A and B are shown apart, each in its own frame.
Chain A
Amino acid sequence: DAKTTQPTSMDCAEGRAANLPCNHSTISGNEYVYWYRQIHSQGPQYIIHGLKNNETNEMASLIITEDRKSSTLILPHATLRDTAVYYCIVRPGGYSGGSNYKLTFGKGTLLTVNP
């Protein structure tokens, strides 16, 4: 999987949009950008993924730059319950053999939503 770079931590005020950046300059053409988050003491939660077009679901929006070297996860109205470590990873959209069957997290970004 391509390497990603995320800030170690970020703060956001409750009710405001949280914009979490991720750099993935070595992403390959067949690799998707995935976002997961992990709230303290809980299992990782899938948020969203995308290839090159912007994506939106009930949890968040994903903005991928045209060159696909970076992306931003947007939580439109952050709440205290969104305080978590957010992981950005890139991996093939489909199974392509090798070691792609396993998920690897980096250090992620600790997002703290403040009241």
Chain B
Amino acid sequence: KAGVTQTPRYLIKTRGQQVTLSCSPISGHRSVSWYQQTPGQGLQFLFEYFSETQRNKGNFPGRFSGRQFSNSRSEMNVSTLELGDSALYLCASKPDILGNTIYFGEGSWLTVV
């Protein structure tokens, strides 16, 4: 079956703009998590959604937000972009809120100029 699908794969934005990234989890998976990965900070957890509710949240400012739809698809939004937001944004899914084997998408490369 298809894996986790993220769109867009690459994008360039200007400081102050906002961006929306999309994620379709593996079919049947209802838990979706978002991560930010940078060379300096490594993999950092943003938030996790299950049944359209945010269940866990990482230590990121309020400019970072997300949501999940009834079909388990998820979006994350970053407003008022800063240069430091340049990163690989990863979406991961798992069947439900329990269990610890998660599957990642290819990621969305965001460059803020």
Contact = CB atoms under 8 A, between A and B. Distances in A.
Interface stretch (A2-10, A21-29, A37-45, A72-80): A37-45
Contact of B58 (A34, A49, A92, A102): A102
Given A101-B56, A102-B45, A102-B58, A44 B98 contact: no
B33 interface: yes
- Counting contact residues on chain A (CB < 8 A from B), the size range is 20 to 34
B100 A32 contact: yes
Interface in A41-63: 41-46, 49
Nearest to B35: A103
B55 A101 contact: yes
Contacts of A45: 104
A105 B43 contact: yes
Given A41-B109, A101-B33, A103-B43, 16 more contacts: A34-B100, A36-B104, A43-B6, A43-B90, A44-B104, A45-B104, A46-B101, A46-B104, A92-B100, A93-B99, A94-B99, A94-B100, A95-B99, A95-B100, A102-B58, A103-B45
Contacts of A102: 33, 45, 48, 56, 58
Contacts of B99: 93-95
B106 interface: yes
Contacts of B58: 102
A100 interface: yes
Interface in B87-102: 88, 90, 92, 97-102
A104 B48 CA distance: 14
B98 A46 contact: no
A43 B43 contact: no
Contacts of B103: 46
A43 B106 contact: yes
A68 interface: no
A34 B103 CA distance: 12
